[in-house]
Chain A
Amino acid sequence: MISIKNLSKQFKTKHQTVQAVDDVSIDIEKGEIYGVIGYSGAGKSTFIRLINRLEDPTEGEILLEDRDIARLRKGDLRKERQKIGMIFQHFNLLWSRTVFENISFPLEIAGVPREERERKVMELIELVGLKGREKSYPSQLSGGQKQRVGIARALANDPTVLLCDEATSALDPETTDDILDLLVSINEKLNLTIILITHEMHVIQKICHRVAVMEQGKVVEQGDVLDVFVKPQAKTTKRFVQQLSPLEHQKEHLQEFINDREDSEVVKLHFIGNNAKRALISEVSKKLDVAINILQGSISPTQEGAYGTLYVEINGEARLIKEAVDFIQSSGVEVEVLQHDE
């Protein structure tokens, strides 16, 4: 539905040219939640601002339902922007307006008649769970409530896509989860396409279907969230994935279990989707004469299913250990045999 082709943005100052976004091409399907992750300065913020032309692209196309946003004239762009909702890290609400009036603002811009506006605003207030707060001013709301107003405001003109610019980065972890749940429910209820940028892998894991990893203006990796999680290719991606699995930091604790003996191996198992729920370990130890000692484990839910990591030590005859590893592998679980670090 959204097709971004060879998008680039250069910022020119007197002394230097900064390539903020460098030849980015991404296709986004209708109804999907697409995440862009990167460290600060990676160009993700500029990227999302190019989509509704808060920044003008230097090169490239942004096709939204076959209309190239990059080439729209001012008046057409204004009309098109009414169909692209956006929420912000710092909410950007008008403090001089109440919750009701803030949500009504985009409708005023679109020239919706008063009665229609009132009906729509009340509907949105209900949708984002702010009933009873319509007469409050933003200063009387918590961060999470402010972002709910932001979301309601962004949805007012029934947009085809919602852009989220670090929408949860100013919120505490619990409120972040509430807002993410709200985004998922909106995505499902309205079949709304959502593009979000973030520096938190947690956000990607929790709600995105697909993800692109940005570094120095370029997309270094993109794909389904689960694939990227399980087999991260780029170095930056690996670092992001590590954020989520605390086990990676404790790898050295495993060293004492790893040895050169033939009757003992330490293996790392990746469980994806339904496999994560299987009682695989007990199956193996019933089937084969090996002792399995669980060292560490973790499980993280994602939009596409759960994703788990488990470190186990398998003790037994070398032949049986190999058989056990093969059996686990054949059941669709990724196995990695750990060696001593040199």
Chain B
Amino acid sequence: MMNELFPNVRMDQMWTATYETLYMTIISVIGTFILGILLGLLLFLTSRGNLWQNTLVNSITATLVNVFRAIPFIILILLLFPFTDFLMGTIRGPKAALPALIIGAAPFYARLVEIALKEVDKGVVEAAQSMGAKTRTIIFKVLLPESMPALISGITVTAIALISYTAMAGVIGAGGLGDLAYMQGFQRRDFDVVFACTIFIVVIVFVFQFIGDWVSRAIDKR
């Protein structure tokens, strides 16, 4: 039956592409999580009335974040070609997609991090200060743990955006399910391949969403 419905789908290709998509997604989610939290913390801490209040640093960071968020992802990949080449030594394959994926998603996630941190009860930060906590302690033992459910649901949303970014990156040769759908499916008019790739991507998205929701719920003790 599989052969009748999907005559042109080759499972070995599908699995390789799935592996590539997962590879790009997982590594870039990790990268985005770290870079986004760093940027988000910087945005939050340098804003008015906070621990590192600094208008200059805050507006520079905010501008950078806004600029990178404004660039459409497909253009960002092209813009970053020289940088990618320098960093990874290649502009093809899943590895080469990583810098663009992380740089494209981190600013978006940074804003979500900033929102999550703003939701942390000011009184709790104050309580930590009244106990004589250092800023580092406040960041790692108060701000991040107290905002963790929001940070997790934020990274879930971002991960799903990243999955669709990997498909776009595929179109210009990054590999993965997007690449397969475009090259094998669209170019050759084998639409059953496009359809199979869609199903695989939807399943991946569902799995990510499920894991994200579950983790976020499990750590939320409010």
Contact surface of A with B, Cβ cutoff 8 Å: 52, 54, 77-82, 84, 86, 88, 90, 92-97, 105-106, 108-110, 137-139, 153, 157, 163
Residues of A within 8 A of B128 (CB): 105, 109
Q: Is B172 an interface residue (CB 8 A)?
A: no
**CA–CA, A92 to B127, complex, Å?**
6
Q: Is B222 an interface residue (CB 8 A)?
A: yes
**CA–CA, A86 to B127, complex, Å?**
8
Residues of B within 8 A of A105 (CB): 128, 131, 141
Q: Is B130's CB under 8 angstroms from A84's CB?
A: yes
**CA–CA, A88 to B145, complex, Å?**
21
**CA–CA, A110 to B129, complex, Å?**
12
Q: Is A88's CB under 8 angstroms from B222's CB?
A: no
The stretch of B32-40, B93-101, B132-140, B197-205 that contacts the partner chain: B132-140
Nearest B-chain residue to A106, judged by Cβ? B131
A-B contact pairs, 14 of them (CB 8 A): A81-B131, A81-B132, A84-B130, A92-B121, A94-B124, A94-B146, A95-B222, A105-B128, A105-B131, A106-B131, A109-B128, A109-B134, A110-B132, A139-B221
Q: Classify chain B: how many residues form its interface, as a range.
A: 20 to 34
Residues of A within 8 A of B137 (CB): 108-109
Contact of B123 among A82, A84, A88 (CB under 8 A): A88
Q: Is B76 an interface residue (CB 8 A)?
A: no
**CA–CA, A136 to B123, complex, Å?**
21
**CA–CA, A96 to B145, complex, Å?**
7
Nearest A-chain residue to B148, judged by Cβ? A96
Q: Could you tell me the distance in whole angstroms from the C-beta of B180 to the nearest C-beta in chain A?
A: 42
Q: Is B142 an interface residue (CB 8 A)?
A: yes
Residues of A within 8 A of B221 (CB): 95-96, 137-139
Tell me the residues in window 128-178 of chain B with beta carbons closer than 8 Å to chain A beta carbons. 128-134, 137, 141-142, 145-146, 148
Nearest A-chain residue to B138, judged by Cβ? A109
Contact surface of B with A, Cβ cutoff 8 Å: 121, 123-124, 126-134, 137, 141-142, 145-146, 148, 219, 221-222
**CA–CA, A170 to B145, complex, Å?**
26
Q: Could you tell me the distance in whole angstroms from the C-beta of B206 to the nearest C-beta in chain A?
A: 28
Residues of B within 8 A of A80 (CB): 132
Residues of A within 8 A of B131 (CB): 81-82, 105-106, 109, 153, 157
Q: Is B123's CB under 8 angstroms from A92's CB?
A: yes
Q: Could you tell me the distance in whole angstroms from the C-beta of B120 to the nearest C-beta in chain A?
A: 10
Residues of A within 8 A of B148 (CB): 96
A54-B130, A88-B123 are known; give 15 further A-B pairs, CB within 8 A: A52-B130, A78-B133, A78-B134, A79-B132, A81-B129, A82-B132, A95-B146, A95-B221, A96-B221, A97-B145, A105-B131, A106-B131, A109-B131, A153-B127, A163-B130
